[in-house]
Structure 1
Amino acid sequence: MARIRVLTALKIKRNLKPGMYADGLGLYLKVRPGNSKSWIFRYRTGGKLRDMGLGPFHTVSLAEAREKAEVCRVMRLKGLDPLNERLKEQQAKTIEAIETITFEKCAEGYIAAHKAGWKNGKHADQWTATLQTYVYPVFKDKPVAAIDDTLVLKVLQPIWRDKTETASRLRGRIERILDWARVMKYRAGENPARWKGHLDHLLPKRSKVAAIVHHPALPIDETPGFFQILRQEATVVARAFEFCILNATRTNEAMGMRWDEYDEQAQLWTVPGVRMKAGRDHRVPLAQRSQRILAQMQEIRTGQFVFPGGVQERPLSSMAFLMLLRRLERKDITAHGFRSTFRDWAAERTDFSNEVVEMALAHTISNKVEAAYRRGDLFDKRRQLAEAWAAFCAGTAPSKP
C-alpha cells in the first residue's frame, strides 16, 4: 500500500537535494537547484503523465497543498482533467474581464495609439471633447461589447439634423473606436456605427438635412482691388496672407513655412507632407512676386519660420489672418475662400487645364485609375499658372498658357 502524508513541515524546511519528494496520492514537492521549492500534483490521463503546479512552498503551506491535491483527485474521480479545468477557468475570467472593458477605456486606448500620427496635436483634445459632450453621457461606462445600434442612434439622432457636420465626424470616431476594440478582441460582430450598408438605412444623408457651407470667397473681379489694399499693410501677417493667396495654399501650410523648405535657386517651395491635408510633400513653383515677399522676410529673419509670430521660434497665430480681415473690415470673406476665388478665376478667365489647377490646389485625385497613371506634378505648367495668377492679382490681364 502506498504511503501517504510522508512529508513534514520540518523535513521540507531543510536544504534538500534537487528532485521530486512524494507526499502520497499524487502530491509532490519539487526542489530545484538553489533550494527553491514548489508543489506539484502528478497524474496520468490518456496514457500520459501530467504535472500541475499548485504554487510555491513559501506561499502555499503543506496543509494547503494537500487540500489542493484533494480537489484535483475529486476531479479525476469525475473524469475531469485538472489542468484543462484550470485553463477553462482562466479563459472564463479573461472573457469576463474583457466584457467589462468600457467604451471610454477603448476610446482612451485608440487615442493613445493614434495621436502620434495625427498632424495636428489638437486632434486628441478635439476627439476627447466631442466624446465627452455627446457620447459619454449615453454610454461612457457601458462595456464596449454591449454597444449596439440603439445606443449609437441615441447619440446621433438628437444632433443629426441641427449639427450635421459634428454628428458625421462623431459617427466616424465611434466607428473607428469600435473597430479598434474588435481588433483588440474586446468585442465581436458588426460595427453599429458603420455608415454604408447600415446607418445609411437608419439616418438621412447629410446632404438631405444640412446644406454644405462653403468658405466665403471674394468675387474674381474684386481680387486686384483687394490686393492693392493688402499691399499697403506693412506687416508680417499681411505678407504671409498675400503669399498664401498667391500660392493658393491652405492657411496652415503658409503660416508654418520654414526657411529650409525654400529652394531659392530653383524658385521652389516644398511643403512637407506632415502639413499637407493629403499627407504627401507638395512642390510649389513660386511666382516672382512670391519670391520678392520671401526676400523681404529674409531681411527681418529671426528664426526658422518664414512668417514668425509674436513668440520666439513660433509661427503666426492661427487667428492672424482672421484678425487681419477684421481690421480691413472684410468680415464677409475668409482666407480659405481665396482658394475658391483662384479656382473660379482659373476656370473662367484662363485656358489652363483642370488637371493643372487641381495640382496647384494639391487636391487628392478621387479617380483611382487616373491616380495610378499620373506620374508627374505638371510643375512647369503650374509655374506658368502661378505667374498668371500673380499678374491678375496685381491688376494685369493674365497670360494664356
Structure 2
Amino acid sequence: MRILVLGGDGYLGWPTALHLSDCGHEVAVVDNFARRAYDHEMGVRSLVPVEPLQVRVDAWREVSGQDIKMYYGDLVDADFTVEMIRDFRPDTIVHFAEQRAAPYSMIDRKHAVYTQHNNVIGNLNVLFAIEEVDPSIHLVKLGTMGEYGTPNIDIEEGWLEVTHKGRTDRMLYPKKPGSFYHLSKVHDSHNIEFACRIWGLRATDLNQGVVYGQETPQTARDPRLATRFDYDAIFGTVLNRFVIQAVLGHPLTVYGTGGQTRGVIDIRDTVECIRLAAENPADPGEFRVFNQMTESFSVEEIAKTVANNYHGTVEVEYLENPRVEQDQHYYNVVHTGLVDLGLDPHLLSNTLINSLFGVAEQFKDRVDLAAMRPTVQWRTAASPMRTEGS
C-alpha cells in the first residue's frame, strides 16, 4: 500500500511513517517544519535531541533498507497539496499536519486565528485534492478526544442515536471543545463528514487521547531516529511534565484539584492504530470514527501513578488552574472499534517503568525549569491571553 503521511516530521508523524514502512508499505512524508519553528518562537526544545528530517530518512535507509520519500510544503497552499497527492498517488493519506497544542491556540488572537486557519484550511485543501485526484483515497485523520469535551453522558464513537419527540435519527455526537485548537478539530470532523456524505469520499477520524511515550521499536534502532519528548507548558503533556519533575526531585504540579479526567494512549499503540485503520479502510461514502485511547485517568491519578512507579520520594503541588475546565466530571468513553480490529494495548505503568523515566534520566541536563510553569490563561478580558512575565 502507498501511504502519504502529512506532518511526517512531527512527534507522531515520524514514528508512524517508520512503523508503516517497517510493515512493508511504501511511505512518503510531507512537512513544512512549522513544529520546529514553534520551538524557536516559544524558546523551548524537545528534551530528546531530534535530527533534521533528511538525516532521519537517511538513517532509516541505513538500518532498514527502506526508502521514505520526502516532500516539503504547506497544506494551506492548495496547488502544492493537489500536485503532491497527484505525484505520489497514495492509497491512504494519514493526516497529522496540524498545530496541535491547546495552550498555543489560547495565547492571544493571533495564535487562535493562526491555529484555526492552518488546521481548517489545510484540511479542506486535502479534501478537495482527494476529490480531484482520486476519490477512492482513504483519509485517516488524527482528531482528538478533546472534541467531545466532558459531557455528562457516555461518549460514543463519533455517532449518537437520538430519539426526539418520538422520532429517531443517527447524528454526529455533540461536541463541546475546550480550546480554539480543539474547536479547529471539530470543524475538521464536520468538513470531512460532509465530504464523505456529498462526494462519496472515505475517511476514518481517530479521536485520540493524550499520547505518552517517546520510543517505538523502530525509533529505538538508532539514536538518529528518535522522536520528540515535549515537557513544556505549551506543547508538553501533563504526564511528561510529571516524569521530568519526579526525576529532578521537584513536586508534581497539578492544575486545580486534579480531578480532570482524560483518555490516554501509548505511542506504540498510536502507530499501530494508524496501521490498523489504513489496512482496514472505511467504505466509500463512510465517515468512520474511532476513539483512539486505551485507558483513562484523572490528572491526580496520573500524578499518583508517576509517584508510585518512581524509585525516589515524590511530592505533589496543586496550582491554580490556568484553563477553563471542570475539576470534577463524569467520563466514560466507548473505545472498542480499534480493539475489534486487533489492537492489543500497552499499559501506562509498564511504559513508565520501562521507558519514560529512563529517557528523562538520560537527558535531564537539557531541562528548562521555567518552561514547565504555566504561562497561558484561558480566561481573559482582553488580548493577549498570556500572563505577565511569560
Give me the TM-score of the superposition, normalised by structure 1. 0.21
* Greater strand share, structure number: 2
Bigger Cα Rg: 1
Higher relative contact order, structure no. (Cα contacts within 8 Å, ≥ 6 residues apart): 2
Q: TM-score, normalised by structure 2?
A: 0.21
